[in-house]
Amino acid sequence: MGGIAKWLKYRSFEIGLVGHCKTNAKAIEITIKSTAMSRVSVNPEILHWARERAGVSVDVLGHLFPKFEQWETGEVKPTLKQLEALAKKTLTPLGYFFLDTPPEDRLPIPDFRTLDDRAVHRTSPNLLDTVQMMQRRQAWMLEFLIEQGQPRLPFVGAAEPTDDPVQVATHIRQVLGIGDRWAAQHRTWEDALRALRLAVEKAGILIITNGIVGNNTRRKLDPAEFRGFVLPDAYTPLVFINGVDGKAAQMFTIAHELAHVWFDKSAVFDLRELQPAEDRTEIACNKVAAEFLVPERELRALWPMEGQDTESFQVIARNFKVSTLVAARRALDLDLINRETFFDFYRNYLEDERRFSALRKRKPGGDFYANQNARVGRRFAYAVVRAAKEGRILYRDAYQLTGLQGKTFDKYAKSLGLGF
């Protein structure tokens, strides 16, 4: 009997026992314990695949499962109970362990992440689960909006990667309802970032910023793996920002993702050093993002007035309400500085960012319900809560879509002005 058949037999047997629990509870308890302790035949290649997929070493798993190395060589078989614990530790669906060969666990969208100029082929469970979670939310929102009679958004797919970046950036500002000097209206670039998020959401784009998988604080997203991804759609495009990434980079990521929406191209990307992968669309998105945040004409007019040292980046940052990192990257793109100057600045910037991150970790996490507006997306959350309140979806479905349960869900609903 194959592994999956054995597992199904165990589970169906346990379910069958429930119906007879009143007649022989002790016998049922003994049988279930015996089933959990039964050895299960698993392809060692799948154990190896699950470990590498989760990025966990043999030594680490060996502390939890003393015979794991022997499992992986096929010398010893794990029990069903041990396999369930391993599935939880490696973030692997239990059913995967009963396949004959390791599955192809690929991202459902184009992957433009890079690592030392080489393509990245491995996807962490955290990234994969996050993309799939966002796809489910987008699918629900799509159905909801169509039922509400919302028309298609005309700007999705309104441009081509070959179009003039200046014209595309101008059109994006027009749709968002912000002018050429929109950022100058705000005191700091952090204020400009918040205003940009609100404008994006108001235009009909779902925007989510989260640094963990759902609300699971134990599953942190790695900015070295990805900075963001985008899921274009004619009714409800969705952009996701890795909240662990520095806020300085988040503004550029949003602008980059907006270009993806205009080109109607989905992707996940890391934008190492704020540079795109070697792909025509990615390169075009970066050009549009740079023009959207720091227009070339205005920067060239400003540059002769400034010195040629890194203090110029601070002047640019203040003028355009972007971070100094974005300012430096734009200056390099326009050949106003050389690569050596940029990377000297970049290394110092990263060191400062690491110090600031260490300080931020010591501070309280902030208002939980306010954080949900970023993690779930206020527009999406409002639609889900409203649908639950009107009885159009079950509470359990609303809980699954938002990642919030019971009283926590009710309190968040009140924070949105939709108390029960």
The pLDDT of residue 29 is 46
Q: For residue 345, how far is the Cα from the chain centroid? A: 28
The pLDDT of residue 365 is 54
The DSSP secondary structure of 375-409, one letter per residue, reads: IIIHHHHHHHHHHHHTTSS-HHHHHHHHT--HHHH
Identify whether the C-beta of residue 283 lies closer than 8 Å to the C-beta of residue 162. no
Task: Please state whether beta strands 114-115 and 118-119 pair in parallel, antiparallel, or not at all (unpaired).
Answer: antiparallel
The pLDDT of residue 7 is 47
Nearest to 259 by CA among 138, 183, 162, 150: 162
Identify whether the C-beta of residue 176 lies closer than 8 Å to the C-beta of residue 199. yes
The DSSP secondary structure of 57-75, one letter per residue, reads: -HHHHHHHSTTHHHHHHTS
125 by DSSP, 3-state: which? Answer: helix
Torsion of CA 46, 48, 51, 53, to 10 degrees: -70
Give me the numbers of helices (H) and strands (E) for the chain, helices first please: 19, 9
The pLDDT of residue 193 is 86
The pLDDT of residue 201 is 94
The pLDDT of residue 190 is 79
- Report field, pTM of the whole predicted structure over 0.85: no
The stretches in the chain having pLDDT less than 50 are: 1-2, 4, 6-23, 25-33, 117-119, 362
How far apart are alpha carbons 375 and 81 in whole angstroms?
34
The pLDDT of residue 108 is 85
Model pLDDT for residues 265-324, shown as the tens digit of each residue: 999 888 777 777 888 999 999 999 999 999 998 888 888 665 555 578 888 888 888 888
Model pLDDT for residues 219-260, shown as the tens digit of each residue: 999 888 899 999 999 999 999 999 888 777 888 899 999 999
